[in-house]
């Protein structure tokens, strides 16, 4: 199963990529000791780490939501044909992402809303597609919701020096600016209510404009937390950041706050990149957290 229903909202998992991200656990998560990975290896491998090589395994996926008659995409992956000189694993991909969407019954023109939880290379790629030599919005009828704090932070005109170094080279130019110039962006601040079921809230730390989409429908809850969790290890070790977290202290605080909220409200936690079942329900475990049950999606 790659679809589940929470209240009045249908959630479908659309895979773009699953496998090695060509970064060792020690490089991706420098704050986690090797012993910590080994301690949890029995359940982290093979879905989240390759035990033999110590290389991190990740999914690049889009959450397709149908709510109040609207078709909504949460994050748009890496995209095809993008030049990523400083992120070679994401350079010049040619995946069948749009076919995956079509299999789920969605044509590009059907998409009403695109949500970019933040503006990293692996969250905005399918915002645009190559038309001849020009990047054009992939979803011609969609409004693209972007957090203004990230729009400003990643705009090269503002000259910020991110932790990602030049890993986001070209990303603003080929995946953000063309949508903005087409008049299809809505830059939001602090919080943005989408409909009766869905609300975006700022959750800074990983990036200045990182955000969380909260689903509340009837008694059902879910939190789409983007890259607040990059691996399942961060559930049991919530203070461990990725090397791409711009503000380490804020990222830790935000991660703990949202894990607590998910535990206390029985919310299904759906990060952007978890392999395996793609998400989990979590519970408090002393001052840390534990997996209660995996999300009801088939294992990748
Ligand atoms: Zn990411």
Peptide bond preceding 244 in cis form (omega within 30 of 0): no
Residue 110 CA, ligand 1 centroid: distance in Å: 25
Give the pLDDT band of residue 64 (cuts 50, 70, 90).
very high
Q: Is-contact 84 173, C-beta < 8 A?
A: no
Share of the chain above pLDDT 90, in %: 98
pLDDT at 263: 98
Q: Which class for 68: exposed (0-12), middle (13-18), buried (19 or more C-beta within 10 A)? A: middle
Neighbours of ion ligand 1 (CB under 5 A): 122, 227
From 66, 63, 136, select the one nearest 100 (Cα to Cα): 63
From 85, 184, 168, select the one nearest 128 (Cα to Cα): 184
Instruction: Using the predicted structure, report yes or no on whether residue 163 has a pLDDT greater than 90.
Output: no
Residue 227 CA, ligand 1 centroid: distance in Å: 5
Residue 9 CA, ligand 1 centroid: distance in Å: 24
pLDDT tens-digit series, residues 189-230: 999 999 999 999 999 999 999 999 999 999 999 999 999 999
Q: What distance in Å separates the CA atoms of residue 130 and residue 89, rounded to the nearest whole number?
A: 19
pLDDT tens-digit series, residues 69-79: 999 999 999 99
pLDDT tens-digit series, residues 220-258: 999 999 999 999 999 999 999 999 999 999 999 999 999
pLDDT at 164: 84
Q: Which class for 155: exposed (0-12), middle (13-18), buried (19 or more C-beta within 10 A)? A: middle
Q: Is-contact 209 1, C-beta < 8 A?
A: no
Mean pLDDT of 8-29: 96
Residue 216 CA, ligand 1 centroid: distance in Å: 24
Residue 215 CA, ligand 1 centroid: distance in Å: 20
Number of residues that this document lists for the chain: 300
In the structure encoding, which two tokens stand for residue 228, read together? 């607040």
In the structure encoding, which two tokens stand for residue 66, read together? 């149908």
Q: What distance in Å separates the CA atoms of residue 33 and residue 26, rounded to the nearest whole number?
A: 8
Instruction: Using the predicted structure, report yes or no on whether residue 104 has a pLDDT greater than 80.
Output: yes
Residue 10 CA, ligand 1 centroid: distance in Å: 23
Give the pLDDT band of residue 83 (cuts 50, 70, 90).
very high
Q: What distance in Å separates the CA atoms of residue 86 and residue 164, rounded to the nearest whole number?
A: 9
């Amino acid at each position: 199963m790659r679809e589940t229903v929470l209240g009045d909202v249908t959630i479908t998992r659309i895979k773009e990529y699953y496998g090695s991200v060509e970064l060792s656990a020690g490089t991706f998560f420098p704050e986690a000791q090797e012993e910590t990975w080994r301690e949890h290896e029995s359940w982290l491998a093979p879905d989240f780490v390759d035990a033999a090589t110590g290389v991190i395994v990740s999914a690049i996926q889009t959450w397709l939501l149908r709510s109040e008659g609207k078709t909504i995409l949460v994050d748009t992956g890496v995209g095809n044909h993008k030049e990523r000189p400083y992120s070679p694993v994401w350079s010049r991909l040619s995946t069948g992402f749009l076919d995956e969407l079509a299999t789920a019954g969605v044509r590009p023109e059907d998409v009403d809303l695109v949500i970019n939880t933040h503006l990293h290379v692996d969250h905005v790629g399918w915002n645009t597609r190559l038309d001849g030599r020009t990047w054009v919005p992939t979803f011609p009828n969609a409004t693209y919701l972007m957090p203004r704090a990230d729009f400003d932070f990643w705009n090269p005109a503002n000259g910020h020096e991110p932790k990602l170094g030049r890993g986001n080279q070209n990303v603003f130019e080929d995946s953000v600016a063309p949508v903005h110039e087409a008049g299809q962006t809505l830059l939001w601040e602090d919080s943005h209510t989408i409909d009766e079921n869905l609300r975006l809230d700022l959750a800074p730390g990983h990036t200045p404009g990182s955000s969380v989409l909260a689903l509340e429908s009837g008694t059902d809850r879910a939190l789409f937390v983007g890259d607040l969790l990059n691996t399942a290890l961060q559930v049991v070790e919530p203070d461990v950041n990725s090397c791409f977290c711009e503000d380490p202290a804020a990222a830790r605080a935000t991660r703990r706050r949202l894990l607590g909220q998910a535990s206390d409200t029985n919310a299904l936690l759906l990060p952007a990149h978890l392999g395996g079942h793609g998400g989990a329900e979590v519970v408090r475990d002393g001052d840390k957290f534990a997996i209660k049950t995996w999300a009801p999606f088939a294992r990748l």
